[in-house]
Amino acid sequence: MNNMIPLEYIILFAMAIVEVIRKRMPDTYGDLKPFIAFTIAIGCNVLNAAIFGGSMLAAGRDSFIAAGVALAMFGSGTVLGNIISKSSPKAVPAQAVPAQAAPAPLEIKSSTTPEVMTQDNSTSV
């Protein structure tokens, strides 16, 4: 009977270790970060097999596949996030629009003859 920790948990644990290392590692090693993450995930699962009496070769094979898929998804998400953040427009403050003068209100004159007021305040009979 195989009492090993499930591979999903091992990959998540390895990704957490990689995040801690990645924050502390200088950017000069940027090309090595995926390789380091890959080897940590494989090493964690092989160690899991060694501790709990599983097949280390099968554990290495399974973690090779799972770590590759997990890192590909993680890496593509990071790349996509970088592309979106670079291509999204920056917040530009709104331009102040000059206020337009409101039209003058119509004047109503009371008289006995009907007059029609026009917009330019001239009367016509």
58, pLDDT greater than 80: yes
Q: Which pLDDT does position 73 carry in this prediction?
A: 74
Q: Tell which wins on pLDDT, 44 or 101.
A: 44
57, pLDDT greater than 80: yes
Q: Which pLDDT does position 26 carry in this prediction?
A: 77
Q: State the virtual CA torsion across 22, 28, 29, 31 in degrees, nearest 10.
A: 110
**Digit-coded pLDDT (tens) for 5-32:** 898 888 888 888 888 887 887 777 777 7
* CA separation for the pair 105, 119 (Å, rounded): 9
38, pLDDT greater than 60: yes
40, pLDDT greater than 50: yes
**Digit-coded pLDDT (tens) for 61-107:** 988 888 888 777 766 666 666 667 776 555 555 565 666 666 677 77
pLDDT bracket for residue 1 (50, 70, 90) = very low
* CA separation for the pair 46, 10 (Å, rounded): 10
Residue 112 token pair? 């006995």
68-99: buried (b, 16+ CB within 10 Å) or exposed (e) per residue? eebbeeeeeeeeeeeeeeeeeeeeeeeeeeee
Residue 25: count of CB within 10 angstroms of its CB: 14
Look up the pTM and report it: 0.55
Amino acid code (one letter) for 64? F
